[in-house]
Chain A
Amino acid sequence: MKLYEKTASELSEMLRRKKCSALEIYEDVSNRIKSVEDKVGAYITLSDETARKKAIEVDEALAKGEELHPLAGIPIGIKDNISTKGIRTSCASKMLENYIPPFNATVVEKINNADMVVTGKLNMDEFAMGSSTETSYMKKTRNPHDLDRVPGGSSGGSAAAVAAGEAILTLGSDTGGSIRQPAALCGVVGFKPTYGSVSRYGLIAFASSLDQIGPIGKSVKDIAMLQDIISGYDKMDATSKNMEYPKLTDNLTVNAKGLKIGILKEYFGEGVDDSVKESVYKVVKLFEENGAEIKEISIPSANFAMSTYYIISSAEASSNLARFDGVKYGYRAKEYDSLIDMYENTRSEGFGDEVKRRIMLGTFVLSSGFYDAYYKKAKIMQKRISSEFDNVFKDIDIIISPTVVSTAFKIGENIDNPVKMYYNDAFTVTANIGGLPAISLPCAKDEKNLPIGLQLIGKKFSEQTLLNAAYTYENLCGGFNVHSQIL
């Protein structure tokens, strides 16, 4: 019995029916890691000892008849920019190669409290800057569906681990598409919650106003279960929203009838692969056949979202990453002859080229004389885009679009062309700009057998509506088969 191929909700059932133990689940996943990790390279750090201990604790508690969280005993991998007390958190950077946080991110505390089994820390683009996980200083991660191709990024390790069976669930972070784009490229489910619904405390910041932690998994129900654990108000995060967070899992329903779906026409234009367009249209049709109302909509400023995103995210990043100066933690250059020299050498040696590019772009757009022309303009555009979204959501429930313009590209193919690389995020950045919840679902495979993803976007804090739509599609299409067939 391949336990690692099961969904979290299936395993949860099995655990409670004593069909297997938490330790057996963990060992199955652990053996899977041993057998495929060489090829996939999803993990930066494994936490085998603590994971095993936790699994045994869960088994003991269940044996005693204790009431545990439904996801207790389920193996979960965590992106390496989420702080884990006592476990190295590197952000896939030389800068933090040996950094061990003295505290847990709020989401990690919540996962621990739910007794999930943390398998380890997952690879990513350095400081979450990238769309292919190629900017990682630590290692290469390969797409489990084609090992010559990228898994997407920046949460490439998180998406690849799920597709390869190296974790049942994972956590990623999404600043401009970093959960959804790799989920699409690896053929798994990736969810970016509404900004403010999951605490960012302990998430090593890339762009504070856009970053959001979210779940990656094999089914919508699994996503809902994990989201129920990690969401909620956190007084440690001033941007977290203080409100009721009803349990999404309890209210998942299949119902296409009357669902008002908007087709975002700007996202079906030139530059999108035909196979991607066709696949998403098929899904639209499926929804329609089952009673959904389809409407073409327009976000006129959507085409400016990319520029807006790169200005705002880089500006915030340039400031957020200034603290890496070789004084308090992290890498320090070996040679220097003054304070400034130490700063410059430390940062030049500790950061990779993509991170340097973003820091410099951000420094430039904030620098005196350019602030108004770039940063301020982008913030005003952000507002306009948000209000255009507010407007369309008056008439519809969710928006449908492709997640990415194409399927996974070859490793090395775009690495020397940052602008081309940036277009990977073209359809995902809008949700971050608007603070909206969005999910990527596997919807087909192209002629090379590479996964194609579709994206559903909801209005702020409409997680339930969005996940219900996703759940409806999952049921209508007969479920997702996320696992790689080649490993």
Chain B
Amino acid sequence: MKDYEIVVGLEVHAELNTDSKIFCDCKNVFGLEVNTQICPICMGMPGTLPTLNEKVVEYAIKMGHALNCKINSVCKQDRKNYFYPDLPKAYQISQAEVPICEHGYLDIFVDGEERRIGITRIHIEEDAGKLLHDDSFAGSLVDLNRSGVPLIEIVSEPDLRSTEEVKAYLETIKSILQYLNISDCKMQEGSIRCDVNISVRKKGSTEFGTRCEMKNINSFSAAVRGIEYEAKRQIDLIESGGVVEQETRRWDDVKGMSFTMRTKENANDYRYFPEPDLLTIVIDEDKIKSLKAELPELPNKKMARYIKDFGLSQMDATLIVENIDKCKLFDECTALNLCVPKNISNWILGDISKYMNETGKSILDTPLTAKRLCEMISSVEKGVISNSAAKRVMQIVIDEDKEPQQIIEELGLVQNSDVGFLENLAREVLAKNEKSVNDYKNGKTNAMGYLIGQCMKESKGKANPGMIKEIVIKLLEE
């Protein structure tokens, strides 16, 4: 296994979150009652014709810009012919010869290193319906609600060399789609899916091995499992003197195995040809430019900035960028320039993440605004309140929609940082605890913790813990 490297190319299908379907004005929604979001066009009734949704073209171009692609301002659509019950016209309108975007790349981070992955093409196409199976029923059922939902297919070059890279690539693609707000990326709803092309070769080799295509991968973790399984299968085959056959395999995530679907000999002959019901797609160059100008800062770019400008670790930067809400909050906070970015990151990845996980809510839907959060963090930085007091403040801001300052005052959370007061307090405590003082002087250093604890207790928790510690140490050393 160690002598080999894997070579992976990915085809990611992402459903676009347009209002209507790609070729008809049916609603593009998930999860409604079977066959209620259909019309004669998306059910392929004879005589119907497609009309291309302008948003689909725009979204594809946005993704093309995000992945540094060349945008083909003149392109067309083609038919991919095959029979299957979920494909009502018995052809999928896709793009074969001239895709809307091609020749791009995507930079991803793996182990703190930047890796550039080539993007072969992005094309627009329609989704198929769904087959439903029920053990109690002898046949299969066809629901066409999904038929005609717009898709972009993002095809990478065979540039990925490890499952870590695959995972990083998929996560980055997903976060870009979310940042562009062009796809919901809900894995469980199948709104983003991928096919994997994989081959293996001896390390150091420059030639590609025979590749297999793996279909039916429904999550990113399944992609990793599938690739690990398939790599091992291919290596074992080669090691035992066999040959990898080019074929299409089906990944079964429950069994954790892949199975032959089609061999090269009985591969589908899709008989692609230009879609005669649609004319040439011609996109105005100005439009292409303005779509580029509208692009938000993309997550992989953000990540580089967080690491470089704010000194975040790759881990922390990744965790923030991955979640669009956390990222938005972080950007708003850093823009205010009220506190240290690293501290903001700690709060977001700590207590705020915990809150979001526990409640399932987005922090953006709570009264904890960026300004309130920063004021609170800055109070901690200035020593006005303690860290534990700040946790209380945060919860109250969220629950009661109040200003942090008001909460701090009402609850009397302000720390006492008056040197004179703290010295007096420390002297009193030391005087009352002569034994502990002696213990300390006899080398029992943990006695200091007890003394500090006593000071905090005496002050009802208001003593500035950092300062009181310094003062106690100073007095003990006297």
User: What is A's interface to B at a CB cutoff of 8 Å?
Assistant: 81-83, 89, 91, 96, 99, 101-103, 105, 200-205, 207-209, 235-239, 315-316, 318-319, 322-325, 327-329, 339, 343, 363, 366-368, 371, 375, 379
Contact = CB atoms under 8 A, between A and B. Distances in A.
B43 A328 contact: yes
Contacts of B88: 323, 327-328
B51 A323 contact: no
Contacts of A236: 49, 51
B50 A343 contact: no
B15 to A, nearest CB: 22
B50 A101 contact: no
A319 B273 contact: yes
B45 interface: yes
Given A328-B45, A366-B271, 6 more contacts: A101-B40, A102-B45, A238-B49, A319-B273, A328-B88, A379-B274
Query: Which 4 residue pairs of A and B lie closest in terms of their CB atoms, listed nearest first?
Result: A322-B90, A366-B271, A208-B276, A209-B276
B46 A205 contact: yes
Given A239-B277, A367-B271, A368-B269, A322 B48 contact: no
Given A322-B90, A322-B91, A327-B142, A315 B273 contact: yes
Given A200-B49, A205-B47, A325 B276 contact: no
B81 A319 contact: yes
B225 to A, nearest CB: 29
A209 B280 CA distance: 13
Nearest to B140: A339
A134 B49 CA distance: 28
A30 to B, nearest CB: 27
B47 A202 contact: yes
Contacts of A204: 46-47
A323 B276 contact: no
Contacts of A367: 269, 271
B24 to A, nearest CB: 10
Interface of B: 40, 43-52, 79, 81, 83, 85, 88-91, 142, 269, 271-274, 276-279
A238 B277 contact: yes
Given A101-B45, A103-B40, A208-B277, A343 B83 contact: yes
Contacts of B91: 319, 322
A200 B46 CA distance: 11
Overall SS of chain A's interface: loop
B51 A235 contact: yes
B46 A325 contact: no
A157 to B, nearest CB: 18
B40 A102 contact: yes
Given A101-B45, A319-B79, A339 B85 contact: yes
B92 to A, nearest CB: 11
A181 B388 CA distance: 91
Contact of A325 (B48, B51, B79, B90): B90
Nearest to B44: A323
Contacts of A323: 44, 46, 88-90
B124 to A, nearest CB: 15
A371 B273 contact: yes
A208 B91 CA distance: 14
19 contacts: A83-B46, A101-B40, A200-B49, A202-B47, A204-B47, A205-B47, A205-B277, A207-B276, A238-B278, A239-B278, A318-B81, A319-B79, A322-B89, A324-B46, A325-B90, A328-B43, A328-B45, A368-B271, A371-B271
A237 B89 CA distance: 17
Nearest to A237: B49
Contacts of B279: 238-239
A1 B43 CA distance: 49
Contacts of B90: 319, 322-323, 325
Contacts of A99: 46
Nearest to B81: A319
A238 B46 contact: no
Nearest to B278: A238
A105 B46 CA distance: 10
A83 B48 CA distance: 9
A238 B51 contact: yes
B163 to A, nearest CB: 34
Nearest to A370: B271
Contacts of A324: 46
A83 B40 CA distance: 12
A314 B285 CA distance: 37
B265 to A, nearest CB: 13
Given A237-B49, A322-B91, A366-B271, A328 B276 contact: no
Greatest chain B CB density within 10 A among A101, A319, A366 is at A319
Nearest to A104: B47
B70 to A, nearest CB: 25
A83 B45 CA distance: 10
Contacts of B79: 319
A309 to B, nearest CB: 14
A101 B47 contact: yes
B420 to A, nearest CB: 83
A367 B51 CA distance: 27
Contacts of B89: 322-323
A375 B51 contact: no
B68 to A, nearest CB: 31
A104 to B, nearest CB: 10
Greatest chain B CB density within 10 A among A89, A91, A366 is at A366
Nearest to B90: A322
Contacts of A339: 85
B276 A316 contact: yes
B81 A322 contact: yes
B83 to A, nearest CB: 6
B72 to A, nearest CB: 19
Nearest to B51: A238
A235 B23 CA distance: 12
A201 B273 contact: no
A232 B346 CA distance: 64
B74 to A, nearest CB: 16
B164 to A, nearest CB: 37
B276 A83 contact: no
Contacts of B83: 322, 325, 343
A424 B273 CA distance: 28
B45 A329 contact: yes
Contacts of A208: 276-277
Contacts of B277: 205, 208, 238-239
A351 to B, nearest CB: 14
Given A238-B52, A327-B85, A328-B88, A366 B273 contact: yes
A121 to B, nearest CB: 13
A375 B272 CA distance: 11
Nearest to A203: B47
B98 to A, nearest CB: 15
A89 B90 CA distance: 21
A172 to B, nearest CB: 15
Nearest to A364: B271
A83 B51 contact: no
Nearest to A127: B46
Given A368-B269, A375-B273, A96 B46 contact: yes
Nearest to B79: A319
Contact of A83 (B43, B47, B85, B142): B47
Contacts of A322: 81, 83, 89-91
Contacts of A203: 47
Greatest chain B CB density within 10 A among A89, A235, A327, A329 is at A327
B22 to A, nearest CB: 12
Greatest chain B CB density within 10 A among A203, A322, A371 is at A322
Contacts of B46: 83, 89, 91, 96, 99, 101, 204-205, 323-324, 329
A239 B50 CA distance: 10
